[in-house]
Amino acid sequence: MSSPAAGQGSQLLKPKHALVTGGARGIGLAITRMLLAHGARVTMVGRNTDLLEQSAQSLKQCGEVAGATADVSDADAVGRAFNDARDRFGAIHILVNNAGQASSAPFLKTDSKLWRRMMSVNLDGTFYCTQAALPDLLNAGWGRVVNVASIAGLRGASYIAAYCASKHAVVGLTRSLAMEVAAKGITVNAVCPGYTETDMVEQAVSNIVAKTGRTPHDARIELASHNPQKRLVQPQEVANAVLWLCLPGSEAITGQAIIVAGGEVQ
């Protein structure tokens, strides 16, 4: 995934319209910035209107970017946001399903509310957004769908059964849809990060501290220990993988779950 993904940008995605859910912070913001650097017009979708506006303003110098407010677990809200995005930047060519949530609990303490929250955002949101965007991709005869899953979508892990189940389902959806549209100029892939330097990891650190009494420093070392490189993945590294799947030259890559985790394997 070297040039131009790791370079200083290009116009290879101009004038494509990319839509990134959860695109105003963390991994999503890194993806938004990367797509802009390569010429795409980008719509960020998220629940926090103020954050969307702040992020859009901070990225104005990078290219054409705007926000659209929606909770991805609400199919009607997704439909409205996607229509607003089309009104602004035209048909959608690239969809990055990045919005997600993570919560941990022992299996017998995983109640139906936690279970549904993981499924509604991580899985239902991916489903609703993909259904909303796919007609544009089919009409164009070209498109890219990249689902930001997790290495937890490829293997089990203690205390995150609901999260694991939702991300495994995203990987299954990815593989199934990829086969369905393989001959239509559309690729569908998943990127599966390990522990990444985001708000979600900060939440995990806080949980470890609260439950074990460890220091935040020790908690971060514990999370980084899962990575053979003994570090947390950086959002930019995940964004590089997403970009590569959207650029010319990646046409033969579809139905894949690409691990970005410093050597962790399933």
**pLDDT confidence band for 104 (50 / 70 / 90):** confident
**pLDDT value for 3:** 42
Cα 83 to chain centroid, rounded: 20
Cβ neighbour number for residue 209 with a 10 Å cutoff: 16
Q: What pLDDT score was predicted for residue 8? A: 61
Q: Which of 128, 159, 163, 195 is catalytic?
A: 163
Residues with Cβ within 8 Å of 171's Cβ and at least 6 positions away in sequence, in order, are 147, 149, 153, 154, 190, 192, 257
Structure confidence at residue 7 (pLDDT): 46
The two three-digit tokens of residue 129, written as one number: 């957004």
Phi, psi angle pair for 148, to nearest 5°: -85, 100
Domain ranges in the chain?
17-194+234-260, 196-232
pLDDT at 231 over 80: yes
Give percent above pLDDT 70 in the chain. Answer: 96
At 5 the pLDDT is 44
What predicted TM-score, i.e. pTM, was given to this entire model?
0.90
Tens digit of pLDDT for each residue in 8-61? 678 999 999 999 999 999 999 999 999 999 999 999 999 999 999 999 999 999
Strands 94-97 and 65-69: unpaired
Q: Is 163 a catalytic residue?
A: yes
pLDDT in tens, 172-193: 999 999 999 999 999 999 999 9
Mean pLDDT confidence for 71-95: 98
Q: Which strand (E) or helix (H) includes residue 222?
A: helix 216-224
**pLDDT grade for 227, boundaries at 50, 70 and 90:** confident
Q: What is the mean pLDDT of residues 194-199?
A: 80
Residue 8: half-sphere exposure toward Cβ, Cα within 13 Å = 0
The mean-pLDDT minimum among 95-104, 199-208, 244-253 falls in: 199-208
Fold of 17-194+234-260: Rossmann fold (3.40.50)
Residue 110 scores a pLDDT above 50: yes
Residue range 97-101: mean pLDDT, rounded? 95
pLDDT for residue 201: 72
Q: Average model confidence (pLDDT) for the chain?
A: 92
> What is the DSSP secondary structure assignment for residue 232, as one 8-state letter?
P
